[in-house]
């Protein structure tokens, strides 16, 4: 993580006195990508010289302790970049070769931190990139949107009855009974925004094909 803004990180990487750089930086809001160092050149990003010389460094806009920065747009753009690079250089698409800065031996970095969803990211890297959709059906005028996959999570918004929602990934949470039966499947419809699948008509009973698991 840049521990700051996208523009600020790019500006910092352009300053030789900073003695830090990354090959690529991703923007949170829309997944925009800026390249600061050519792939054949060494970027100072890993906190370990050997790893710097043998890796391509990708930074993501945001802060380690604030999951709101980890948008689906950024996850998907970053995964597409990683998928392209692994194809180009013959790098295995696994966690032994795609690692966090925090996992570099001897490094003091903590990014991307515990809020980064490696399960979701690696599915995207490996080609499970579908986005589902569904129609909300609730006996009330609106359906509560939760911050996590369960009825005990705080309400962070609502969607109207009859609204169409995008489903970026699905996961198991608390069991809920609604118009479409009793289920523990929850749909993530945005960054830290979940609704029970019991209230969403997706055309499938439970998991949607080619949509990642959260």
Q: Which CATH superfamily hosts domain 6-125?
A: Peptidoglycan recognition protein-like (3.40.80.10)
- The domain segmentation of the chain, as residue ranges, is 6-125, 132-201
Could you report the per-residue pLDDT of 48-57, keeping only the tens digit for each? 999 999 999 9
d(CA 101, CA 83): 18
d(CA 197, CA 207): 9
- pLDDT given for residue 161 in this prediction: 98
Could you report the per-residue pLDDT of 151-198, keeping only the tens digit for each? 999 999 999 999 999 999 999 999 999 999 999 999 999 999 999 999
Residue 107, pLDDT > 90, answer no
d(CA 146, CA 36): 38
Percent of the chain with pLDDT over 90: 98
d(CA 15, CA 110): 23
Which contacts (CB < 8 Å, 24+ apart) does range 198-206 have?
A: 199/136, 199/137, 199/138, 199/143, 200/134, 200/135, 200/136, 200/137, 200/165, 200/167, 201/134, 201/135, 201/137, 202/132, 202/133, 202/134, 202/167, 203/134, 204/132, 205/181
**What average pLDDT score do residues 50-79 get?**
97
Lowest mean pLDDT among 17-21, 95-99, 195-199: 17-21
- Does domain 132-201 fall into CATH 2.30.30.40? yes
**What average pLDDT score do residues 67-92 get?**
97
């Amino acid at each position: 993580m840049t521990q700051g803004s996208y523009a600020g990180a790019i500006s910092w990487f352009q300053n030789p006195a900073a003695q830090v750089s990354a090959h690529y930086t991703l923007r949170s809001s829309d997944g925009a990508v800026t390249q600061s160092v050519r792939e054949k050149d060494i970027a100072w990003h890993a906190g370990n010289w050997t790893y710097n010389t043998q890796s391509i460094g990708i930074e993501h806009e945001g802060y380690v302790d604030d999951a709101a920065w980890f948008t689906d747009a950024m996850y998907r753009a970053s995964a597409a970049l990683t998928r392209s690079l692994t194809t180009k250089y013959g790098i295995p698409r696994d966690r032994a070769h795609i690692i966090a800065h925090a996992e570099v031996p001897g490094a003091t970095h903590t990014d991307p931190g515990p809020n980064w969803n490696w399960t979701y990211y690696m599915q995207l890297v490996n080609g499970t990139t579908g986005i589902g959709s569904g129609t909300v059906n609730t006996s009330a005028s609106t359906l509560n949107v939760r911050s996590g996959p369960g009825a005990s999570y705080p309400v962070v918004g609502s969607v109207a009855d009859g609204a169409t929602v995008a489903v970026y990934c699905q996961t198991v949470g608390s069991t809920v009974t609604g118009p479409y039966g009793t289920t523990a499947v929850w749909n993530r419809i945005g960054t830290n925004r979940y609704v029970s699948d019991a209230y969403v008509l997706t055309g499938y009973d439970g998991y949607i094909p080619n949509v990642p698991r959260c």
